[in-house]
Amino acid sequence: MIGDGTAPAMHVPPLHRRITWQDTDRVLKRAEARGIRFVIPGDDEWPTDQIADLAALSEVQEGTGGVPLGLWIRGRQQLNKIVRRGVTVSGTTVPSAYGSFAASEISFGLASAGCPVWSSGSVGIDEAGHRGVLASDSGVPVAVLPSGLDVRHPHHRDVWLDMIAERGAVVSQFPPTVLVTRARATVSRWLCCALTTAVVVIETGRRGAQHSLARSASALQRPVFAVPGPIGSAPSAGCHQLIMDGTAKLITTATDILDCLDTGSADAGGEDAGPRSV
Quick one: pLDDT at residue 122?
A: 86
Instruction: Say what the pLDDT of residue 56 is.
Output: 67
Instruction: Give the pLDDT confidence of 226-264 residue by residue, as tens digits.
Output: 999 999 899 999 999 999 999 999 999 999 999 998 876
> Over 80: is that where the pLDDT of 108 sits?
yes
8 Å CB contact between 67 and 13: yes
| Domains of the chain and CATH, by start | 36-263 (3.40.50.450)
| Cβ proximity of 138 and 107 under 8 Å | no
- pLDDT score at 238: 93
What percentage of the chain has pLDDT greater than the value 70?
Answer: 81
**Residue 269's pLDDT is what?**
42
The pLDDT of residue 11 is above 60: no
Look over the chain and give the mean of its residue pLDDT values, rounded to a whole number: 83
In this prediction, residues 193-202 reach a mean pLDDT of: 93
* pLDDT of res. 272: 38
3-state SS track over the chain: CCCCCCCCHHHCCHHHHHCCCCCHHHHHHHHHHCCEEEECCCCCCCCHHHHHHHHHHHHHCCCCCCCCCCEEEECCCCHHHHCCCCEEEEECCCCCHHHHHHHHHHHHHHHHCCCCEEECCCCCHHHHHHHHHHHCCCCCEEEECCCCCCCCCCCCCHHHHHHHHHHCEEEECCCCCCCCCHHHHHHHHHHHHHCCCEEEEECCCCCCHHHHHHHHHHHCCCCEEEECCCCCCCCCHHHHHHHHCCCCEECCCHHHHHHHHHHCCCCCCCCCCCCCCC
Of 268 and 175, the structure prediction assigns the larger pLDDT to: 175
Res 2: pLDDT? 47
CA–CA separation, 78 and 55 (whole Å): 21
Q: What is the pTM of this model?
A: 0.84
Pairing, β 198-202 against β 141-144: unpaired
pLDDT(4) > 80: no
Range with the poorest average pLDDT among 90-104, 105-119, 120-134, 256-270:
256-270
Is residue 266 within 8 A of residue 243, CB to CB? The reply is: no
Percent of the chain residues topping a pLDDT of 90: 49
Query: Rounded CA gap, 214 and 221, in Å?
Result: 10
Stretch 23-28: mean pLDDT: 78
